[in-house]
Every structure is written in structure tokens, then in C-alpha cells.
């Protein structure tokens, strides 16, 4: 499938503006799990693959799963191994990154993880400490990650919170970055959404025109029994 121009633009905005906002989360998880040489890591819904690049920089062998063809193409431009569906067969993985996953997306990826391997789920932290969902006027509610672990019949193995501020050079970059998340495409007309978002972001502008949106993310680690 060939990505549409709109999808390609959104994927570029994600890769160039938005994806780096989650680096503190990725690094905290990799530190917690001591990801390093010899580890095999599978990234579910990996986007343009920044988390995979960071893990590879630590010596891990990485594979990504990304259904969106535009984001998958960008990840492959970064010379990453990225497929459209979770791999079946072959050597199992030590770590599965599954940030904000649906049960339908998580289930087919779990068989690729070895027994005792780590599964990492993450989503927004407490709403009172997350500016972005407030600014966006709703959006998807954060998942109950502990319930997701229980539904998947995984064994809990710790959790943590990470400060992930979303910082942008200006309002235009903030709008493009937030729109690239794909979480709000169906909420209203894109032009109207951009207008409302521009207005909502003004209180978060700094004197130099940059935008600063503090957020906290929560992650949980579970093990495959």
C-alpha cells in the first residue's frame, strides 16, 4: 500500500517533531531493564522507530511492528527492521515494548516473547499532571495498565513514572506535532481542530514563542509466565 500525501506528511511531523518527546520514557524503561548487547527487543506500534534506534545504540537487536505504511517507510529509511505484523516463529524476543496497546494488538505479539521475557506497557500518568490531554480537551482516556496486564495473564514486575515534557519551537510546531499523533483525527474537522488547538496553546507559550507542556507517563513491566 502506498501512503497518501497526507499520511506521509503526518508521519514526517511525527518523526521530526513529536517522537522525541518520549525519549525520557524510552530511556527510563531501557535503564530499568538494563537493555544491552545480546538482548532482542520487539517494538509494537513502533512508529518511525526512535525507541528501536535507542535500544540498538545500547547493543540490542531490534525489530519493529508498524501497521501504518508511511511510518513504516520512515523507520526503514533509518535502516531498521520493521514489519507490518508481529513475527511468528524464529528466535523469541527478550523484551516487548507495547506502549498504550489495545488488547487486540497486544495478544498476537505476546507469543513472540520468551518465557520470563519483559512486556512493557505505558500511557499517560495522572491526568492532573498531564498538560496535553487537558489542552486537547479530552482525547482517549488513559488505560488501566494493571488491568491490561491482568487481562493478558502476565505477571506484574514493577512500574514507574517518567516526566516527559512536550517542548516545541513555536505554536505551529506544537500543532503539527500533536496532530501527528493520530489520536484526534476523527474528533472534528482538521482545520477547526487546528484553530481551536492554536487558541488553547497560547497560555503555554513562553516569551520566546516556544511552547512547553509538562506531562507524566506511567509504565508497567510484566513478565511472560
pLDDT digits (tens, 9 = 90+) for 157-173: 999 999 999 999 999 99
What pLDDT sits at residue 102? Answer: 75
DSSP letter (8 states) at residue 205: B
pLDDT of residue 193: 78
Which portions of the chain are predicted below pLDDT 70?
1-5, 137-140, 183-188
4-25 burial, b at 16+ Cβ within 10 Å, e below that, comes to: eeebbebbbbbbebbbebbeeb
Nearest-10 crossing angle of helices 190-201, 171-179: 130
Contact 103, 151 (CB under 8 A): yes
Q: Is 222 helix (H, G, I), strand (E, B) or coil?
A: strand
Task: Using alpha carbons, select from 97, 117, 120 the residue that is nearest to residue 220.
Answer: 120
CA proximity to 131, closest of 219, 204, 22:
204
Task: Name the residue among 177, 119, 124, 123 with its Cα closest to residue 150.
Answer: 119
Give residue 184's pLDDT.
64
pTM: 0.92
pLDDT digits (tens, 9 = 90+) for 1-39: 556 667 788 899 999 999 999 999 999 999 999 999 999
pLDDT of the residue at 104: 80
Amino acid at each position: 500500500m502506498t501512503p497518501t500525501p497526507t499520511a506521509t506528511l503526518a508521519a514526517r511531523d511525527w518523526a521530526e517533531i513529536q517522537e522525541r518527546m518520549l525519549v525520557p520514557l524510552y530511556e527510563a524503561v531501557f535503564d530499568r531493564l538494563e537493555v544491552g548487547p545480546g538482548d532482542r527487543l520487539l517494538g509494537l506500534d513502533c512508529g518511525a522507530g526512535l525507541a528501536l534506534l535507542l535500544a540498538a545504540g545500547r547493543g540490542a537487536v531490534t525489530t519493529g511492528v508498524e501497521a501504518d505504511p508511511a511510518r513504516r517507510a520512515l523507520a526503514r529509511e533509518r535502516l531498521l527492521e520493521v514489519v507490518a505484523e508481529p513475527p511468528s516463529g524464529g528466535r523469541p524476543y527478550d523484551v516487548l515494548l507495547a506502549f498504550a496497546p489495545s488488547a487486540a494488538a497486544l495478544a498476537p505479539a505476546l507469543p513472540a516473547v520468551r518465557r520470563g521475557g519483559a512486556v512493557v506497557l505505558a500511557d499517560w500518568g495522572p491526568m492532573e499532571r498531564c498538560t496535553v490531554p487537558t489542552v486537547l480537551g479530552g482525547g482517549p482516556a488513559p488505560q488501566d495498565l494493571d488491568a491490561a496486564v491482568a487481562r493478558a495473564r502476565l505477571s506484574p514486575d514493577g512500574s514507574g513514572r517518567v516526566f516527559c515534557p512536550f517542548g516545541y519551537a513555536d505554536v505551529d510546531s506544537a500543532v503539527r506535532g500533536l496532530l501527528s499523533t493520530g489520536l484526534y483525527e476523527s474528533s472534528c474537522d482538521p482545520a477547526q481542530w487546528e484553530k481551536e488547538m492554536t487558541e488553547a496553546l497560547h497560555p503555554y507559550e513562553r516569551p520566546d514563542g516556544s511552547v512547553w507542556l509538562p506531562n507524566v507517563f506511567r509504565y508497567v513491566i510484566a513478565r511472560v509466565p
